[in-house]
Amino acid sequence: MIQLDKKQTCTGCHACTTKCPKQCITMISDTEGFWYPQINKEECIDCGLCERVCPIITPIKFEDPFNPVAYACYNTNEKVRLASSSGGVFTLIAEAVLKQGGVVFGAGFDEDFNVCHQCVERAENLDKLRMSKYVQSKIGETYREAENFLKENRLVLFTGTPCQIGGLKAYLSKSYDNLITQDIICHGIPSPMVWEAYLAFRKKSAGGCAARRIAFRRKDFGWKRYSVSISYGNDTEYRQDLTQDLFMKGFLKDLYLRPSCHACAFKSIKRHSDITLADFWGIENILPEMFDDKGTSLVLIQSKKGKALFESIEKDLVCQNVNMDEALKYNPAAIRPAPIPKNREVFYNRFGKELFDKIIHDLTKLSFKTRVRTAAVKILNKLGIKEQIKKTLKK
């Protein structure tokens, strides 16, 4: 029976609870808003299955010794590209699977804007899964649903964070030719409870009006300066860019990531998925011709299956092969977990007791030294004194 001695050793993937033959494991949210398994010991028959399918307790083996290959790409369909977080490659992969009669699993919103995994069977519903949601997505029953489709010989595309793909593979415990998996380079996932509190804060600011549509990464000001957008029932819209929106500010300072993200067991170039998707940060320095600030994806092909699927969508992509070191130069989240910031504990000590905006303002404001340095760099930049800037930064 699973015994969690440290919170960092559980990703909340749901493999254990889905597998338990007695259904005596419930996922319960802790005071930080993250789910952990709780076992009803009266019902447990000590079969050990939960430990065998936990990808942290029993690490899974790589199915394919394929050496990952990197590409810079974007979808030639500009409408889809602009409606996606980076280059819109997810949609092409998903459409290729749906065209073969398959099904696609990924993270979407429910009617209350909680983030949860769901299944899509028609191309017109893919917008539910499109675009990053910076909140942990609840797997719920989707591992079991995917298994049922696999057993019916339907082609299944399962997408999610690397730990969710690890959980699925561990739960299935065997390889399926009709399963394709796609993960992401994952910085970490914020707490669903903090997201809920943020939404309540925004609703109050909107005069109590309910949200109708939410997008974390609108590209109206560009891909690099993306913005959070919440449209309300009264035809008003809240819009702030990533440096100003309160939820994004706290996320980017790592104030409320899941503890397992700070010790992530899935950071590596080689993944358990067939394809890894990411933003190609730094593309303007590496391949300037692939940068137009509308979104460029970094794609890592992880297996023969991933390669075959990628070749089938290549005609709909602008695409260039890239050296792996160059590809990951500006994306440390691929291989290194974010360290725990000292303000994480302060955040949770104040969360729920003080106003959300006050906590975030206090914990994300720049120090006096940083503000002086930023102002100095701006002035020097205007004057074009580059050498002076370098010297100032060194001090």
Work out whether 137 is an interface residue with ligand SF4 (CB under 6 A).
no
- Site string (14-33) toward ligand SF4, x via CB under 6 A: xxx---x-x-xx--------
Work out whether 88 is an interface residue with ligand FAD (CB under 6 A).
yes
- Rounded distance between C-alpha atoms, residue 309 and residue 317, angstroms: 13
Work out whether 250 is an interface residue with ligand SF4 (CB under 6 A).
no
b/e sequence 209-219, b meaning 16+ C-beta within 10 Å: bebeebbbbbb
CB nearer to ligand FAD: give 339 or 384: 339
- Rounded distance between C-alpha atoms, residue 180 and residue 303, angstroms: 10
Closest CA to 7 of 189, 337, 260: 260
Which does residue 16 bind out of ligand FAD, ligand SF4, none, counting CB within 5 to 8 angstroms by kind? ligand SF4
b/e sequence 84-97, b meaning 16+ C-beta within 10 Å: bbbbbbbbbbbbbb
Work out whether 313 is an interface residue with ligand FAD (CB under 6 A).
no
Cβ atoms of 238 and 205 within 8 Å: the answer is yes
What does DSSP say about strands 237-241 and 156-159: parallel, antiparallel, or unpaired? unpaired
Structure tokens given for 309:
């699927």
Work out whether 193 is an interface residue with ligand FAD (CB under 6 A).
no
Work out whether 297 is an interface residue with ligand FAD (CB under 6 A).
yes
Cβ atoms of 74 and 81 within 8 Å: the answer is yes
The piece of 43-51, 123-131, 192-200, 351-359 that touches ligand FAD (CB under 6 A) is 123-131
What does DSSP say about strands 211-218 and 179-184: parallel, antiparallel, or unpaired? unpaired
Which does residue 258 bind out of ligand SF4, ligand FAD, none, counting CB within 5 to 8 angstroms by kind? ligand SF4
Q: How far is the CB of 145 from ligand SF4 (least distance, A)?
A: 17
Work out whether 11 is an interface residue with ligand FAD (CB under 6 A).
no
Q: How far is the CB of 299 from ligand FAD (least distance, A)?
A: 8
- Rounded distance between C-alpha atoms, residue 128 and residue 195, angstroms: 18
Work out whether 85 is an interface residue with ligand FAD (CB under 6 A).
yes
CA-based torsion, 112, 189, 256, 23: positive or negative: positive
Work out whether 172 is an interface residue with ligand SF4 (CB under 6 A).
no
Work out whether 165 is an interface residue with ligand SF4 (CB under 6 A).
no
Number of Cβ within 10 Å of residue 127's Cβ equals 14
Biggest alpha carbon distance in the chain?
A: 73
Structure tokens given for 351:
């969360």
Residues 32-91 that bind ligand SF4 (CB under 6 A): 37, 39, 44-50, 54, 56
Beta-carbon contacts of 118 under 8 Å, excluding residues fewer than 6 positions away, are 105, 106, 107, 108, 128, 129, 142
Options 159, 181, 260, 303; binder of ligand FAD; rule CB under 6 A: 159
Q: How far is the CB of 238 from ligand FAD (least distance, A)?
A: 20
Work out whether 316 is an interface residue with ligand FAD (CB under 6 A).
no
Q: Total residues contacting ligand SF4 (rule CB under 6 A)?
A: 36
Work out whether 97 is an interface residue with ligand SF4 (CB under 6 A).
no
Q: How far is the CB of 32 from ligand SF4 (least distance, A)?
A: 14
Work out whether 107 is an interface residue with ligand FAD (CB under 6 A).
yes
Work out whether 134 is an interface residue with ligand FAD (CB under 6 A).
yes
Structure tokens given for 261:
């993200």
Which residue number has the CB closest to ligand FAD?
106
